[in-house]
Amino acid sequence: MSDKTREIVTEVAAGIGAICLILEAVTAAIFWLGPFSFGKTYVQIALGFLVGGIFAAVIFWHMGSSIDRTMEMEEKGAVNRSRMFSIIRTLAAFAAMAAVYLTGWVNLLSLLAGMMTLKVAAYLQPFTHKIMRKEERT
């Protein structure tokens, strides 16, 4: 993986982690202040955010490494390989959701929300980049 890609993957992963922490804090506040109890439901929701966030970070790392690999290939091979990697990521997401649904250990909606943190973190990457650059300069 190139240095620039590694830098972007690190920044987006930091964003995913921050967003998951915010989701966890909001969920804890809702359960703490609301009419809910800290029981099995809270643990399932918290695990959903955690597992979804980890899955999102792994998927983004896979995207970055596969893009780097395909950039070095000829056009036809790159298109086919890119499609194959995209299908693998999609199947992995469906497999994760199916496993969660069948086992019931993790809340499916919070898993999906954790996975969607990738989208939000990607949009916030320029902001995350500025923050991480400030930390390196000081």
pTM of the predicted model, to two decimals? 0.81
Q: What pLDDT is attached to residue 51?
A: 92
Radius of gyration of the chain from its Cα atoms, rounded to whole angstroms: 17
68 inside domain: yes
Query: What are the pLDDT digits (tens) for 40-99?
Result: 688 888 899 999 999 999 999 999 888 888 888 888 888 889 999 999 999 999 999 999
Q: What is the pLDDT of residue 16?
A: 93
Q: Does residue 26 lie in a domain region?
A: yes
Do the domain assignments include residue 138? no
**The three-state (H, E, C) secondary structure of 11-57, written as one string:** HHHHHHHHHHHHHHHHHHHHHHHCCCCCCHHHHHHHHHHHHHHHHHH
The answer to whether residue 27 sits within a structural domain is: yes
CB 47 within 8 A of CB 114: no
Is residue 89 in a domain? Answer: yes
Residue 54 within any structural domain of the chain:
yes
Q: What domain range is 99 assigned to?
A: 3-133
Neighbours of 46 (CB within 10 A): 20
User: Could you tell me which residue, 36 or 59, shows the higher pLDDT?
Assistant: 59
Instruction: Count CB-CB contacts under 10 A for residue 20.
Output: 23
Which pLDDT score, from 0 to 100, does residue 36 have? Answer: 66
Tokens representing residue 121 in the block? 């973190």
| In-domain check, residue 18 | yes
Q: How many folded domains does the chain comprise?
A: 1
Q: What is the pLDDT of residue 135?
A: 67
Mean pLDDT, range 100-120, rounded to an integer = 91
